[in-house]
């Protein structure tokens, strides 16, 4: 797998306006410029945020999919899609996720 390539693609989407315009207008052509596995390409083109998460794509960069509404991902479906890659936790439904504690 080439998760680095997926991360790079998403980073460029946010940081390079000309690249962002190209990926929005001709996504298939842009994807061919990256060394992606078939699994990565399929996860991107299907908007499989959960699958990309499971592959190790950085969660901050995954946000760019909905920010720019790429591959059918938008603000309304992003959380549902990323949760497909996580084990079910009933606290999601309750809005009561555990607080992260950091050791100083």
Kindly write down the DSSP assignment for every residue of the chain, as one continuous string: --HHHHHHHHHHHHH-HHHHHHHHH-HHHHHTTS---HHHHHHHHTT-HHHHHHHT--HHHHHHHHHTT-TT--TTTHHHHHHTTS---THHHHT-PPPP----
Q: What is the CATH number of the domain that holds 16?
A: 1.10.700.10
| Count of structural domains, the chain | 1
In a domain, 100, yes or no: no
pLDDT in tens, 34-46: 999 999 999 999 9
pLDDT in tens, 58-82: 989 999 999 999 999 999 999 889 8
Domain of residue 78, residue span: 3-85
Rounded CA-CA distance 59/79 in Å is 12
**pLDDT band with cut points at 50, 70 and 90 for residue 102:** very low
Rounded CA-CA distance 14/32 in Å is 19
In a domain, 97, yes or no: no
In a domain, 99, yes or no: no
Rounded CA-CA distance 97/62 in Å is 20
pTM of the full predicted structure? 0.80
């Amino acid at each position: 797998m080439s998760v680095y390539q997926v991360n790079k693609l998403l980073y460029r989407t946010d940081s390079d306006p000309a690249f962002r315009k190209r990926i929005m207008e001709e996504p298939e052509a842009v994807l061919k410029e990256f060394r992606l596995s078939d699994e990565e390409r399929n996860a991107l083109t299907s908007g499989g945020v959960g699958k990309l998460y499971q592959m190790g794509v950085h969660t901050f960069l995954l946000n760019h999919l909905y920010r720019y509404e790429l591959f059918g991902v938008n603000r309304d479906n992003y959380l549902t899609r990323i949760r497909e890659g996580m084990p079910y936790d009933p606290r999601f439904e309750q809005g009561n996720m555990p607080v992260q504690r950091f050791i100083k």
